[in-house]
Amino acid sequence: MCPHPKNSRQIFRAPWVVPVTAPVIHDGAVVIDENSIVAVGSYSDIASHFSDLPLTNCSGVLLPALVNAHIHLDLSAYGTVYQESEDSTMCDWISALLRKRLQTHISDEDLKTAAENIVQDQYDSGVGLMLDISNVSLGHFVSFPVEIISLFEMLGPSKTAQQAAVSAIQNLPSNQAVTGHAPYSTTPELLKYIKERCHRRGDLFSLHLAENPDEALLLVKGGGCFSQFLKERGGWDDTFPIPGIDSSGVVGYLHELGILDKRTICVHCVHLTTKEIKIIADSHAHVCLCPGSNRFLSVGTAPLEQFLEHRILPALGTDSIASNTKLDIWQEMSLLREMYPDVSPEHIFSMATLGGAKAMHRDSDYGSLAQGKKTRILHVQGFPYDEVSSANQLLDLLTSCGRPDSITWLNRDGVVKT
């Protein structure tokens, strides 16, 4: 543990510093002031340029805050919704979740409390920035130091539902950002309406995409489990299938609608062709992977290697507790190491930090340790981090061992225990 000095500027030294956008530094140091990082480098360089500043020696490693780029806090009170059998489809899981929400009477206060408990745990794990997708207003989490960007999620798979959704959007508070749910649950007209609203306001647009192969079956052929799901609930009209979808698939359809651009985050992206990945890359849209949720729902694994080949650095998200037994970015990194043994730990740690910050357009403050960024710095110590002998070993530990036993937040008053 570091002591707690007080000065407008000070140096924090550690055996290892992980800048993310630069190589790992052995015997590194970070200079901070009240609000931002002043400098990052080797201790010898920092000491020569800032010889008059107070020094705090830390054990272990200093690294940037993690970023959770996809979570549904409004589902926190419902717990994990398990598949009924090995043969269950994603539509069966959605039906089970809807039944649980309808049959479980939870007050607004209890919904907020459950969400706050999740936010607290995210902060304790080292998450400093989150993108929350909810269709219930939870208000602001003013008591937590985690920065949360909230998008109100809208669905409308038929023309009637579309009209209701547009009316609901028009009655929302003017400061409420809105996004769409998924191509299988939202008409093209509603997707365009929401995206145009986002464009005018400069908001992010996050969309579940290609999580399940039945999405393409619905949009291209009008079949699959989503077709049956909508028909059983009276939500079926002539919206699906979408005429004219060619070999560019659902991604090409979204691109023609004007959905894909640099402020769009495509979440899950499990079932994509190489052509679709290229469209996403060329449009400068972002990708967010949720490997824990994908494994839980047995929907497959995303083509991570192809994203990286197309110079797409995906973000990482946990999704909700309804479709994941544990909401932990450290666990998501471990799953990626297991699923993609040929992907370097450097890439995976970058996904958990810089990838999310870039996707949320907050990389001027988050995602790496660099001059001018916020002092959202983690201190990880204890076994095995105090015994690291190389940068490769350190990155391997950070991405494969799960949540460290000791994670604390560093600020100008020292390291604050979570």
DSSP 46-58: HHHH-TTS-EEE-
For position 83, what pLDDT does the model report?
A: 85
For position 138, what pLDDT does the model report?
A: 83
pLDDT band (50, 70, 90) for residue 4:
very low
What is the end-to-end Cα distance of the chain in Å, rounded? 12
416 pLDDT higher than 70: no
**Which residues make Cβ contacts (< 8 Å) with residue 351, sequence separation at least 6?**
289, 313, 314, 315, 316, 333, 336
CB 182 within 8 A of CB 299: no
**% of residues, the chain, pLDDT over 70:** 97
306 pLDDT higher than 70: yes
pLDDT, mean of residues 233-240: 94
CB atoms within 10 A of CB 233: 11
Q: What is the distance between the alpha carbons of residues 69 and 149, in angstroms, rounded to a whole number?
A: 9
CATH topology identical between 10-65+368-417 and 66-359: no
- The pair phi, psi for residue 303, each rounded to 5°, is -80, 70
Q: What is the distance between the alpha carbons of residues 52 and 55, in angstroms, rounded to a whole number?
A: 9
Q: Which of 24, 22, 18, 23 is nearest to 66 (CA)?
A: 18
pLDDT band (50, 70, 90) for residue 139:
confident
For domain 66-359, the CATH architecture is Alpha-Beta Barrel (3.20)
63 pLDDT higher than 60: yes
pLDDT for 244-291, tens place per residue? 999 899 999 999 999 999 999 999 999 999 999 999 999 999 999 999
Q: 268 - beta bridge partners?
A: 209
For position 84, what pLDDT does the model report?
A: 81
The residue behind tokens 């970023």 is: 67
For position 42, what pLDDT does the model report?
A: 98
For position 78, what pLDDT does the model report?
A: 95
DSSP string for residues in 253-313:
HHHHHT--STTEEEEE--S--HHHHHHHHHHT-EEEE-HHHHHHHT-----HHHHHHTT--
Cα 189–Cα 190–Cα 196 angle in degrees, nearest 5: 90
Q: 63 - beta bridge partners?
A: 378
349 pLDDT higher than 90: yes
Burial label for 206, CB within 10 Å (0-12, 13-18, 19+), is buried
pLDDT, mean of residues 185-198: 98
Q: Which of 416, 287, 372, 398 is nearest to 2 (CA)?
A: 416
The residue behind tokens 């991604």 is: 251
Does this model's pTM top 0.85? My answer is yes
Domain at 10-65+368-417, CATH homologous superfamily: Urease, subunit C, domain 1 (2.30.40.10)
**% of residues, the chain, pLDDT over 90:** 90
Burial label for 191, CB within 10 Å (0-12, 13-18, 19+), is buried
145 pLDDT higher than 80: yes
Q: Which residues of 304-314 are buried (b: 16+ CB within 10 A; e: fewer)?
A: bebbbebebbb
pLDDT, mean of residues 130-158: 90
Q: Is 62 left (phi over 0), alpha (psi -120 to 50) or beta?
A: beta
pLDDT, mean of residues 6-26: 93
**Domain edges within the chain:** 10-65+368-417, 66-359
| Token duo for residue 118 | 């999740």
Where do runs of H (alpha helix) occur along 284-390? 291-297, 304-309, 329-339, 345-350, 356-359
What is the C-alpha R_g of the chain?
A: 22
